[in-house]
Structure 1
Amino acid sequence: MSAQESASGLLAPCATCGEVPAPGARFCENCGSAVGPGAEAGDGPPILARPPVPALPPLTLPPPPPDLKPTDPDSGAVPPPPPPPPAARRPCTSCGGAVADDGYCEQCGEKAQVERDHWAERPAPWVAGVCDRGIRHARNEDAMALAASGDPVTAGRFAALVVCDGVSAAPDSDVASLAAARAARDVLASGGPDGATPVTGDVTERIQAWQTLMVTASTTANDAVLVAVGDKAERAEPPSCTFVAAVVDGPLIVAGWVGDSRAYWIPDAGTARQLSVDDSWAHELMAMGTPRHVAENAPQAHAITRWLGPDSTDPAARCAPTVPDTSGWLLVCSDGLWNYCSAADDLAHLVRSTEATTGREPQALATELVRWANAQGGRDNITATLARFEALPAATTSDNLHTDAVTGAEPATRAL
């Protein structure tokens, strides 16, 4: 034991500050004084006294700005509300599985359709429609919009079916067709029993009122196209579309059209009729005596003479009312369906044979009509809308009517 260590085995503390030095140290690590045998207080450098720290005034903090985002969960700030739950994933049309964010089905792996490519509407059990892209087109430029109320077997029943077919030769016509269909549907719904200005009166008065409202619907649809396409209206070929609509009001049906989308009356038995008259070159050929099968397969057969859009010169619908005395189907469709089955009797045969399989459920029937058109080649977009029409008691009906109430000029043709 060195002389630096005490009798108890501990090192002697520094004589200046009392700190115990490390073994073998010659100077105190705390104050720098000499340690060891003979070291006395003050042998090291003087220890300077620290000046007193002046008292500081109380610190007042400004309030935090309201847009701070706290990073400390314990800061006392109110945490933001949790994000809303994610929207339910749409089902795969192939297998019913959920479609992932990348657009593919999580179950079968198939690429899911864009919602606009295929959709259905069913505003009432007796009214429904299906709109489909078809097979050959890259996008669906067809559109539909439906409204309905009441029971199909009562005089208070009401339905409005609108179909618009975008002009394929004009880009962005899918925008035009959807805007037109929805705008026209809303106008026609305003005349229904739940609308803002319900159509009333006897059958003759209601025919006149619906024809007026149908013209308003088509011109309003044209205005909606102008708004929807915006600057695209300045193009040489601006977005455009056809228009066809039909209203069921008790015992009455009123159809209106601009272009070559069609409305048909298909009774359960008897002769079917095309209610609309195409605004097309094919119809012009037939009016000159050309047989239907020749006219509809002629060059430019699908060139239309009237349409909706920025360059339309006659957007007012021509109209045709009818008061059926039997039960049947009101069919409003695009040429993607009637291309394969144009004549009314041929289309009636298709509807009746399909109904024998599906029953009288309009959405199932429309789905099968679309599937059939795709099986024929699906060379165009396909829309089929249906309203089941049940014959009412004779007291609420009159003789069949079929008149073209609205006429117009014949502008230049447009190819679909």
Structure 2
Amino acid sequence: MRMSQKPKPSHGLAACPGCAEPLDSGDRFCGACGYDLSAVPAAEAGPDRPTVAIGTPVTWPDAPPREPGSLSTMTQHPGDLPGTDSGGRDLPTTEIRTDGPTPPEPVPASGSASASAASGGDFELAAPDPRAAVRVDQAPAAEAVPAPAPEAAPAAVLCVACRAGRVDTDGYCENCGHAQPRERDHMERELAGVAAVSDRGLRHHRNEDAFAVSSTTLPDGSPATLAIVCDGVSSATRPDEASAAAAEAAGASLLAALPRGTHPQQAMHEAIVAAAEAVNSLAEEPGQDGAEHDPHRHRNAPACTIVGSVVASGLLVVGWVGDSRAYWVPDDRSTPPARLTEDDSWAAQMVAAGLMNEAEAYADERAHAITGWLGADSYELDPHTAAFKPDRSGVVVVCTDGLWNYAEAAEDMARVVPADAADRPLGAAQVLVGHALDGGGHDNITVALVPFTAAPRGAGSA
């Protein structure tokens, strides 16, 4: 069972007749393929597999007793992974996997990102190629381009798809109906020691992922880097706002807690709680379409998943709720990589209960139905956290299922992460997003890379 379906839009179509892209109320054209929705009867929606949440409560075992504020966390070498969760419980050893489910059918050699979209009858205008993208940082205020003189008429904006039609104020071409690229369609950011890239993908008409990356200083003067990645639940209302609010709140919480000397694992737990509160508050705010004031319409509260990582003082800390993941990829590829998180999902639940093997569970259409998320209509919040102390250098890959769907097992992820990822995290993140686009780009894609540098052998701990 999934979260309640979206209400039927005012135009009577739940999905585009041409490409099966989900539609929003008030759409005049399909944002993916440009279909004129006013002249076509409703059609059956094609299969799609966005991140969704199931509505059936999941029976989890009672947590063992734990002293308030306790961080009964052991530190391990990579071979000792996975570590413990926020309740002090050992994570199942099956989570560290070098084998994966049955690999997907190979993509034809000619199937580039844009060709994959076109062959499926989807939006033929490909998302920006991250491997060739030009990152544009926000200009300082002093260098801002001055606003045009009041008497100057604004120049007409031409459609990037047909190159002929004028773009209306709603962001759609008046000639072909294509939605124009928006700021969140492709985002990149790089700081010292961390980088992230997010892309709309080739099937969705907007990017419902969000991220936050930053760095700070601990009380002893040592550096700390952090990355938060959130994936909006597509079956909920305003998923893009939910992911953005969660990422911003979690990042701000970590930046406030770490310089005060809060243990990184406790800081991660508090950050997830802060993110949940930020998403919950969205349920109390009216949406832009005013649907919350209509008593005849039911809409799920804004919701998203979250995963984050903090690297500080030789520790690698991860935290998550949902099915967004973190992977450990050592610089020395002769040593094994590892998956550091366990999904809150239907597939993971089936595997843990012994009802299916991993290949069967992840091949099921219900595999990506999540059993844990941030949102006002979620069940009791249960943030998962774990701390590790690797004895070698590597990189932490923090990502949504838009990436790991194309590199599910730890070894698969290690194969697609560039060898120089620790030295060039932004370039490596661009390559990973490109890998997902070449694989079909069926979902939004977001990945953050956090390099981890191990202390030299024999060096004392900070």
Q: TM-score, normalised by structure 1?
A: 0.62
Deviation at 1:192, TM superposition (A): 3.0
Q: What residue identity is the alignment partner of 2:338?
A: R
Identify if the C-alpha distance between structure 1 residues 292 and 220 changes in structure 2 by more than 3 Å, giving closer, same or farther: same
Whether the 8 Å CA contact 1:324–1:391 is kept in 2: the answer is yes
1:334 matches 2:334: no
Identify if the C-alpha distance between structure 1 residues 379 and 305 changes in structure 2 by more than 3 Å, giving closer, same or farther: same
Deviation at 1:101, TM superposition (A): 8.3
The within-5 A match list for 1:74-85 is: 85=147
**Distance across 2 between alignment mates of 1:322 and 1:131:** 26
Match of 2:236 among 161, 166, 170: 170
The Cα offsets for residues 164-200 of structure 1, whole Å up to 9 and x where unpaired, read as: 100111131111110011100110111334xxx233x
Q: Which runs of 5+ in 1 are unaligned?
A: 1-82, 95-99, 105-109, 200-205, 399-416
What's 1:302 paired with?
A: 368
Whether the 8 Å CA contact 2:282–2:302 is kept in 1: the answer is no
The Cα offsets for residues 39-82 of structure 1, whole Å up to 9 and x where unpaired, read as: xxxxxxxxxxxxxxxxxxxxxxxxxxxxxxxxxxxxxxxxxxxx
Identify if the C-alpha distance between structure 1 residues 113 and 241 changes in structure 2 by more than 3 Å, giving closer, same or farther: same
Q: What residue identity is the alignment partner of 2:336?
A: T
Q: What residue identity is the alignment partner of 2:281?
A: V
1:286 matches 2:348: no
Deviation at 1:397, TM superposition (A): 5.1
What's 2:424 paired with?
A: 361
**Distance across 2 between alignment mates of 1:130 and 1:157:** 22
Identify if the C-alpha distance between structure 1 residues 248 and 86 changes in structure 2 by more than 3 Å, giving closer, same or farther: farther
Deviation at 1:216, TM superposition (A): 1.5
Identify if the C-alpha distance between structure 1 residues 359 and 278 changes in structure 2 by more than 3 Å, giving closer, same or farther: closer
What's 1:114 paired with?
A: 182
**Distance across 2 between alignment mates of 1:276 and 1:86:** 50
Deviation at 1:212, TM superposition (A): 2.3
The within-5 A match list for 1:5-404 is: 85=147, 113-122=181-190, 124-149=191-216, 156-193=222-259, 197-199=260-262, 206=263, 210-229=264-283, 230-231=285-286, 235-269=298-332, 270-289=335-354, 290-351=356-417, 354-355=418-419, 360-394=423-457, 395-396=459-460
Whether the 8 Å CA contact 1:165–1:177 is kept in 2: the answer is yes
Identify if the C-alpha distance between structure 1 residues 314 and 215 changes in structure 2 by more than 3 Å, giving closer, same or farther: farther
Deviation at 1:244, TM superposition (A): 0.7
Q: What residue identity is the alignment partner of 1:332?
A: V
**Distance across 1 between alignment mates of 2:267 and 2:194:** 21
Deviation at 1:86, TM superposition (A): 5.0
The Cα offsets for residues 242-296 of structure 1, whole Å up to 9 and x where unpaired, read as: 0111111120011111000001111112111111111111111221343322211
Q: How many residues align?
A: 285
Q: What residue identity is the alignment partner of 1:355?
A: A
What's 1:59 paired with?
A: none
**Distance across 2 between alignment mates of 1:315 and 1:140:** 25
Whether the 8 Å CA contact 2:243–2:303 is kept in 1: the answer is yes
Q: Any runs of at least 4 consecutive aligned residues in structure 1 with deviations exceeding 6 A, and if so which? A: 100-104
Please tell me whether Structure 1 or Structure 2 has the larger radius of gyration of its CA atoms. 1
Whether the 8 Å CA contact 2:216–2:223 is kept in 1: the answer is yes
Identify if the C-alpha distance between structure 1 residues 155 and 397 changes in structure 2 by more than 3 Å, giving closer, same or farther: farther
Q: TM-score, normalised by structure 2?
A: 0.57
Q: What residue identity is the alignment partner of 1:275?
A: L
Q: What residue identity is the alignment partner of 1:115?
A: E
**Distance across 2 between alignment mates of 1:263 and 1:359:** 16
The Cα offsets for residues 183-232 of structure 1, whole Å up to 9 and x where unpaired, read as: 00110111334xxx233xxxxxx3xxx33222221121111112234246
Q: What residue identity is the alignment partner of 2:452?
A: F
**Distance across 1 between alignment mates of 2:148 and 2:422:** 38
Instruction: Say what the alpha-carbon RMSD is for the aligned residues.
Output: 3.1
Whether the 8 Å CA contact 2:194–2:226 is kept in 1: the answer is no
Deviation at 1:333, TM superposition (A): 0.3
**Distance across 2 between alignment mates of 1:287 and 1:125:** 39
**Distance across 2 between alignment mates of 1:86 and 1:179:** 33
Whether the 8 Å CA contact 2:346–2:370 is kept in 1: the answer is yes
Identify if the C-alpha distance between structure 1 residues 366 and 170 changes in structure 2 by more than 3 Å, giving closer, same or farther: same
**Distance across 2 between alignment mates of 1:226 and 1:343:** 33
